[in-house]
């Protein structure tokens, strides 16, 4: 009997101990932090887009705000993925789906970690593991397709449970240079474009990612390196944020921009990513304001025209960034409906016109609020008795530099004191900024590439009498500003040369026929002509190799040639009297870049420019 009682007591004791242990585990489980976000009660998932590429400041992985986001993943055993935002974001992607360190432990292990203090230590290890993965994700492919990268990041979150917090964390400048949103394309105007219009265009072309239920946190937008990629004005920076904000919101997401760099005290002195450090090239974004008309000049301004005559007007649209020269012509003040002006600016005055004056109006086709006018006096008297015999230019062999202004004038010859009034016309220019005004002043645009302009002067009173002349334009070449050692083919500093040539990368890409590189050297007194050509060619080939090696330019697009000391840009040799003058020599020690479509460049290449 005693034995049975003893056994009963032992069993009940074991049951009580087991119950106590289970109750303890239950109580402990209630006080141990669960793998959910403490604020919302939801699990945390994040997809990282890492913009570690050339033209960017180094990412501050110790930023306080960024660290808080990473810590949430680590403490809640959350899901995370990462990809590098380069030209092909799919080239490297990572997720922690199979990482055992991020598997939620069982209740016993959780209790043990909590009781021993290992829980916090393991969370810190997971945090550093995430940071380590992110640091390893650097660009491998040239350029940046940020919109595609965000789309891929959204896909990583698309299969996550709907009750999770979902965030895309972007680390980068926001300057995409390829794909649908290419800020670098043809000196793009996108940075100053209307964000709503860009978002509408993206939606129309099915380029908006699905960001429903996702918050995008963007760190270090427009933090460029300041060397390869120059900083922009505040307007461009604000608009860059506006473009991405509008795209993300229209895609169904929310967005927060964080630019604190809280642990670095700003961006001064921060390391930069670069080609020299193994990052593939990224095209520089040369943002500029879109073309904008400011005023319209109608020529001539105050002509006198007889009843029944026709007269041709011209118009020039003045503005920024080569505005469209298209105008819409209109007329006011006429009493006869047969008095008209067509859309080429040709005014026809009806024989029965009774008005004494007309107003000719030319309005910008882009912005009708921008217009210019001319006042026409209608002559009701017979043609003047004067007879014009011919017209002659008063200047001969006219030569002018691109970017300069010259005043042209003519003499109108004939009987009975003929009027000296003429209508000026310009042909042969390649830049719409090159023009001639009513007074005969020729304005040659700084970027004019045509080496020969034709100027025509036609009598105001006798349109059959005209004359023409040509103006030879000295076209400034582009200088690839790399430094060579004197009397040597060696670069002074290859790393610096790589930075110096970056400004020409986009120019080369836009030239369908390629470009010429003309190598020039200095000393006509110390080396013979063939030695100059040989050294010039070697220097041109050196620059060509930089474009190919560091910027991936197709070598077939670059034609290198060495020039002798009689090249078009040879200022003088390196000798002043009998003394060597290094400053003079340095001016000739250069490589010149020109479009292969440029007629002047073709003449230089073929030796026909002399």
Q: How far does CA 234 lie from the centroid of its chain? A: 16
Lowest mean pLDDT among 103-117, 303-317, 474-488, 563-577: 103-117
549 has a pLDDT exceeding 70:
yes
Tokens 């005290």 -> residue: 265
Q: Where are the beta strands (DSSP E) in 66-152?
A: 79-84, 93-95
DSSP label at 356? S
Record the pTM: 0.56
Per residue in 217-239, pLDDT (tens digit) is 999 998 887 777 777 788 888 89
Q: What pLDDT, on a 0 to 100 scale, did the predictor assign at position 121?
A: 74
Q: Taking Cα atoms as reference points, which of 227, 210, 129, 134 lies closest to residue 172?
A: 134
Percent of the chain topping pLDDT 70: 80
The tens digit of pLDDT for each residue in 246-259 reads 999 999 999 999 87
**Where do we find the tokens 């000049």?**
297
Distance CA 44, CA 69 (A): 9
Contact between 171 and 221 under an 8 Å Cβ cutoff? The reply is: no
Residue 77 has pLDDT above 90, yes or no: no
Q: In this model, does residue 266 exceed pLDDT 50?
A: no
Predicted pLDDT at 116: 56
Give the relative orientation of helices 2-31 and 107-116 as an angle to the nearest 10 degrees: 70
Q: Where are the beta strands (DSSP E) in 58-201?
A: 79-84, 93-95, 165-171
More confident residue, 287 or 66: 66
DSSP 264: T
**Spatial distance between the Cα atoms of 466 and 386, rounded to a whole number of angstroms:** 16
Which one has a higher pLDDT value, 128 or 460?
A: 128
The stretches of 516-610 forming alpha helices (DSSP H) are 529-551, 582-588, 599-605
Cα(46)–Cα(49) distance, integer angstroms: 10
Distance set, CA 90 to CA 215, 219, 518 (Å): 22, 21, 40
Digit-coded pLDDT (tens) for 504-531: 888 788 788 889 999 887 665 556 778 8
Query: Position of tokens 């047969």?
Result: 338
Q: Which tokens go with 254?
A: 């929310």
Judged against a pLDDT cut of 70, whether residue 590 lies above it is answered with yes
Q: In terms of Cα–Cα distance, which of 138, 140, 135 is closest to 70?
A: 135
Instruction: Find where tokens 């080429």 sit.
Output: 344
Query: Is the Cβ–Cβ distance between 604 and 594 less than 8 Å?
Result: yes
Q: In 3D, which of 282, 200, 284, 288 has the Cα closest to residue 239?
A: 288
Segment 417-428 mean pLDDT: 87
Give the mean model confidence (pLDDT) for residues 372-379.
94
pLDDT digits 0-9 by tens, 11-62? 455 444 544 444 444 444 444 444 444 455 577 889 999 999 888 888 889 8
Contact indicator for 480, 446 with CB cutoff of 8 Å = no
For 593-609, give the DSSP string: EEETT-HHHHHHHTT--
Range scoring the smallest mean pLDDT among 24-33, 357-366, 541-550, 587-596: 24-33
- How much is the pLDDT for 118? 57
Q: Residue 262 phi/psi, 5° resolution?
A: -65, -25
**Positive/negative CA dihedral, 511, 514, 518, 519:** positive
Q: Which residues pair with 455 in a beta bridge?
A: 426, 469
Which CB contacts under 8 angstroms, 24+ apart, belong to 231-238? 232/191, 232/287, 235/192, 236/191, 236/192, 236/287
Sign of CA dihedral 355, 359, 365, 367: negative
* Radius of gyration over every alpha carbon of the chain, rounded to an integer in angstroms: 37
Does residue 541 register a pLDDT over 60?
yes
Is the separation of the CB atoms in 497 and 541 below 8 Å?
no
- What pLDDT was estimated at residue 36? 43
* pLDDT at residue 263, as a whole number: 42
- Mean pLDDT value across residues 451-476: 86
Highest mean pLDDT among 60-74, 482-496, 571-585: 60-74
**CA-based nearest residue to 150, from 95, 75, 79, 89:** 89
Residue 214 has pLDDT above 60, yes or no: yes
pLDDT digits (tens, 9 = 90+) for 138-159: 998 889 999 999 999 999 998 8
Per-residue burial over 415-427, b if 16 or more Cβ lie within 10 Å, else e, is: eeebeeebbbbbe
- The pLDDT assigned to 561 comes to 94
- Residue 585 CA to residue 566 CA, distance in Å, equals 14
State the Cα–Cα distance between residues 575 and 20, nearest whole angstrom: 102
Mean pLDDT within 182-206: 83
Query: Averaging pLDDT over each range in 9-18, 434-443, 486-495, which range is the top one?
Result: 434-443
85 CB contacts (<8 Å, ≥6 apart)?
Answer: 49, 50, 51, 53, 139, 144, 145, 146, 149, 170, 172
CB 484 within 8 A of CB 492: yes
């Amino acid at each position: 009997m005693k034995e049975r009682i003893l056994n009963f007591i032992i069993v009940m004791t074991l049951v009580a101990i087991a119950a106590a242990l289970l109750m303890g585990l239950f109580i402990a489980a209630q006080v141990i932090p669960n793998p959910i976000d403490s604020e919302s009660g939801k699990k945390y998932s994040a997809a990282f887009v890492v913009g570690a590429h050339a033209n960017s400041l180094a990412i501050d992985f110790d930023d306080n705000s960024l660290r808080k986001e990473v810590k949430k993943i680590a403490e809640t055993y959350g899901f995370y993925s990462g990809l590098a935002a380069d030209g092909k974001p799919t080239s490297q992607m990572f997720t922690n789906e199979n990482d055992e360190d991020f598997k939620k432990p069982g209740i016993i292990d959780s209790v043990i970690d909590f009781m021993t203090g290992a829980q916090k230590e393991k969370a810190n290890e997971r945090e550093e593991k995430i940071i380590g993965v992110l640091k390893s994700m650097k660009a491998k492919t040239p350029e940046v397709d940020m919109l595609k990268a965000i789309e891929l990041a959204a896909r990583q979150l698309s299969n996550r449970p709907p009750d999770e917090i979902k965030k895309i964390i972007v680390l980068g400048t926001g300057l995409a240079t390829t794909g649908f949103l290419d800020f670098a394309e043809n000196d793009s105007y996108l940075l100053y474009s209307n964000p709503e219009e860009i978002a509408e265009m993206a939606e129309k072309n099915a380029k908006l990612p699905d960001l429903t239920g996702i918050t995008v946190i963007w760190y270090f937008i427009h933090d460029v390196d300041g060397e390869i990629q120059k900083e922009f004005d505040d307007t461009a920076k604000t608009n860059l944020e506006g473009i991405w904000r509008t795209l993300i919101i229209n895609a169904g997401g929310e967005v927060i921009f964080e630019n604190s760099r809280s642990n670095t005290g700003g961006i001064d002195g921060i390391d930069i990513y670069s080609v020299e450090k193994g990052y593939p090239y990224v095209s520089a974004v040369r943002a500029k304001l879109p073309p904008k008309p400011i005023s319209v000049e109608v020529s001539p301004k105050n002509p006198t025209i007889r009843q029944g005559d026709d007269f041709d007007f011209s118009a020039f649209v003045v503005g920024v960034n080569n505005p469209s020269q298209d105008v819409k012509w209109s007329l006011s003040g006429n009493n006869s409906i047969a008095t008209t002006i067509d859309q080429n600016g040709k005014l026809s005055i009806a024989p029965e016109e009774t008005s004494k004056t007309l107003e000719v109006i030319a309005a910008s086709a882009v912005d009708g609020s921008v217009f210019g006018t001319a006042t026409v006096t209608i002559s009701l008297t017979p043609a003047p008795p004067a007879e014009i015999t011919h017209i002659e230019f008063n200047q001969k062999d006219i030569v002018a530099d691109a970017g300069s202004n010259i005043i042209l004038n003519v003499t109108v010859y004939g009987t009975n004191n003929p009027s000296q009034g003429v209508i000026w016309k310009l042909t042969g220019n390649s830049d719409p900024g090159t023009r001639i005004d009513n007074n005969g002043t020729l304005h040659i645009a700084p970027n004019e590439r045509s080496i020969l302009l034709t100027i025509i002067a036609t009598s105001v009173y006798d349109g059959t009498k005209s004359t023409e002349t040509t103006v030879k334009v000295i076209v400034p070449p582009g200088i690839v500003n790399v430094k060579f050692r004197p009397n040597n083919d060696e670069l002074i500093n290859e790393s610096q040369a790589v930075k110096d040539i970056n400004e020409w990368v986009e120019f080369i890409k836009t030239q369908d026929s390629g470009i010429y590189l003309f190598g020039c050297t200095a000393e006509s007194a110390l080396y013979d002509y063939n030695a100059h050509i040989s050294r010039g060619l070697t220097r041109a080939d050196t620059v060509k190799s930089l474009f190919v090696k560091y910027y991936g330019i197709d070598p077939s697009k670059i034609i290198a040639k060495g020039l002798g000391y009689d090249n078009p840009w040879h200022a003088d040799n390196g000798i002043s009297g009998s003394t060597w003058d290094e400053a003079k020599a340095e001016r000739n020690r250069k490589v010149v870049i020109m479009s292969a479509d440029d007629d002047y460049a073709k003449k230089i290449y073929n030796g026909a420019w002399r």
